[in-house]
Amino acid sequence: MKNPFEAFHQAGVRKREIPLDKILKSKEETLSTILKGYEDLLKNEAKDLVWLMQYSTVIKAYSIAEKGIEGIEYTAEDIEEFCYALDHSDQIPYLITGPAGVYISALCNHAKEEEIYLHLRDLTVKINLLGYRLPTDKKLIVEGNVGDFTGIGLDGGEFIIEGSGKNYTGAGMKRGRIIVRHNLGFNTGHGMTGGELIVGGRIKGLGKIVGGKIYERDQLIFPHEGIKPFSF
């Protein structure tokens, strides 16, 4: 008996592997390795799903994050994918913005690229601590709004925020430059010892600043006649 579907058999099928398959596969693998590193950080740092923002905690978390990402080959795009993976994850305690920010900062600081552009406009949460310890010769550009403690301990890098930030931006910053297109919250530049913070919009309030320069809408507001440097 003749097979009525004979004409369909193997008709025009080629199914070859194309470079896109490899790109996507390697992207998935990298992302899962990055996520694993993040999970390890969470296990160590936020066991009770509570993460207290203290400078010693941040330093400890950062060193765990650095270990977690050791040996991972990734690009700026992978960092961005990771941010969205955190945002879209349905595991409720997954995105704790403190450790997430420290981990992303470690990824940025150890990335191969000198310039990293993160398109985070569509993130539903604002990540804290982005740009932590950004070193010299690194430029980080974030499109979208960011959370608290952005750019703290900045260490010579250039951090551009195409949006607004919240409180304690640039706190403890040593050198380098933070440029914010829109607004910042309270305690801006708290404990800052050097570098420049340039804000295109409004600053709700300054912290206790030791050194460096802060500009608000092209006007130098620190150091200024009315605001003297603070000594701890």
Partner 1 sequence: MEIEEIIKKVWPRVKKKHLFPHLPLPTMIEGGDDCALEIKSKQLSISNAFYEKLKDKMDGEEIVEAVLDHGITHYMYCPWDFHTHLTLYNEAKKVVRQKEQAQRATTYFMDVVTDTYCVKEKNTKIAQLYKNLPKHGMYEVLTSLYEKIWGENLGSGGHEELVNRLSRIPYLERKRWRESIKKFTKVIQDILEKEWENEQQSSQREPNPLGEHSLKNYSLEEIDRGLREFATAVEDLQEFRETVDDLREELEEKGYGTGGMGRGKANPIDANLLYYMKLAESYTLPIRKLPIEKRGYLHPHAHMPWEIGKPFADIDIWTSFGKIIPGITQIWTKREGETHGEFEGTPDCLIVIDSSGSMINPRERLSYAVLGAACACNAYLKLESKAAVYNFSDALRGNKIVLDFNHEKEQIYQAICRYFGGGTAMDLADITYLLSRANNPDIFIITDMQITNLERLIEFFNKIENRVTAVHLGSNVHTTRFKDGTEKKKNISIFNVKNKEDIPKIVLGKVKEYLASPAKWR
Q: Which residues bind partner 1 (CB under 8 A)?
A: 7-8, 11-16, 18-21, 23-24, 27, 75, 77, 81, 119
Q: CB 88 → partner 1: shortest distance, Å?
A: 9
Do 183 and 201 form a contact (C-beta atoms < 8 A)? Answer: yes
Q: List Cα–Cα distances, 67 to 62, 72, 99, in angstroms.
A: 9, 10, 14
Q: List Cα–Cα distances, 71 to 28, 34, 138, 152, in angstroms.
A: 16, 11, 20, 26
Q: CB 20 → partner 1: shortest distance, Å?
A: 4
Residue whose C-alpha is closest to residue 139's, from 123, 162, 122, 121: 162
User: Which is closer to partner 1, CB of 12 or CB of 226?
Assistant: 12
User: Which is closer to partner 1, CB of 117 or CB of 186?
Assistant: 117
Do 137 and 114 form a contact (C-beta atoms < 8 A)? Answer: yes
User: Which is closer to partner 1, CB of 27 or CB of 67?
Assistant: 27
Q: CB 4 → partner 1: shortest distance, Å?
A: 12
Task: For 77, list phi and psi in degrees, rounded to 5.
Answer: -65, -35
User: Which is closer to partner 1, CB of 18 or CB of 52?
Assistant: 18
Q: CB 14 → partner 1: shortest distance, Å?
A: 5
User: Which is closer to partner 1, CB of 7 or CB of 50?
Assistant: 7
Do 136 and 154 form a contact (C-beta atoms < 8 A)? Answer: no
Helices 97-109 and 76-88 sit at what angle, rounded to 10 degrees? 170
Q: CB 15 → partner 1: shortest distance, Å?
A: 6
